[in-house]
A and B are shown apart, each in its own frame.
Chain A
Amino acid sequence: MLRRLFPHPYLTLLLIVTWMLLVNGTKLGSLVMAIILGTVIPLLTAPYWPNRPRLRNLPAIIGYVLVVLYDIVKSNFIVARIVLFMPKADIQPAWVTVPLDLQTPEAITVLAGTITMTPGTLTADMSSCGRALLVHCLHAPDPAAVRDEIKARYEARLKRIFE
């Protein structure tokens, strides 16, 4: 019953939060509205999202978010340095293949996104079977190291969260 009413409980939660962010206040009326919408909209969009991802262990999630935020800021300084100060000749771009252990689409998506937003790397494509990501590095003298860092730093964490 509850499962039919809330096909995606996280989504419902997310929507309620979103609504409160939108109306930018904490009126009771808004909350009621938020709850209504948070219930109705997932029901409407459920067909587009057949299988629900299972999320577990909140601390891991929080940890991951913090790591990524830190890396984003860091990566930006790196990129800035390369863009502003490194002479074109010295920049050593590289392609890296990152084989995947993850299998959940959601998880892979998050990983790919993370890679793009973090130091000097950018997800360009995926193998047509979905078992590897093609990553481009802006400046990577040692591509292998990049791959290992990705797998260790992000994929491992995501595996703990999603699978």
Chain B
Amino acid sequence: MEQIADYAIAFLLVIAGIFGLVGSYGLLKLPETMMRLHAPTKASSLGVGGVLLASMAYTWVYEGRLSWHELLITIFIFLTAPITAKFIAKAHLHRSQIEDELPPTGVGTGWATFEPAHETIEPASGMVRGPGSE
């Protein structure tokens, strides 16, 4: 039993390590920013996920208690990774201004990064209250 658990944990660790490495290697190797973005977003996430799983398993097997903390972290990372990725992507799009390389939205408007949002905006006067304005 222990043995199997050991193998499982070791396997998880090795996989995790590899993916972690891949993520950062991709960051170096891939030629374009957009492509580079793929690597860490996915691989690194999985890598750290693997480590966290391994840790859970480890504490379960060797300390007899089930530690849910790692799970929490994993979830958090997986929730936030896409957002981070999207923001960096947008920053890249904005900085490199490659609007014309992009496909049309097909719904009439342009891509959000290159257009002010379509909504009624009004100046701030009197809008703010609370401690900000006394």
Known: A80-B43, A83-B30, A84-B25. A122 touches B101 (CB 8 A): no
CB A81 to nearest CB in B, in angstroms, measures 9
* B11 at interface, CB cutoff 8 A: no
Q: Which residues of A contact B (CB under 8 A)?
A: 18, 20-22, 24, 72-73, 75-76, 79-80, 83-84, 88, 91, 93, 95-97, 99, 112-117, 120, 122-129, 131-132, 134, 136, 138
Interface residues of B (CB under 8 A from A): 18-19, 22, 25-26, 29-32, 34-35, 37-39, 41-43, 45-46, 65, 67-69, 71-72, 78-79, 81-83, 85-86, 89-90, 93, 101-113, 115-118
Interchain residue pairs A-B with the least CB separation, the first 8: A116-B82, A124-B89, A127-B105, A83-B26, A21-B68, A113-B82, A131-B107, A128-B115
With a cutoff of 8 Å between Cβ atoms, the chain B residues found around residue A79 in the complex are: 22, 26, 38-39, 42-43
Q: Complex formed: what's the CA distance from A20 to B43 in Å? A: 29
Instruction: Closest A residue to B28 by CB, please name it.
Output: A83
CA distance A97 to B30 in the complex (A): 23
Residue of A at shortest CB range from B39? Answer: A83
State how many angstroms separate the Cβ of A31 from the closest Cβ of chain B: 14
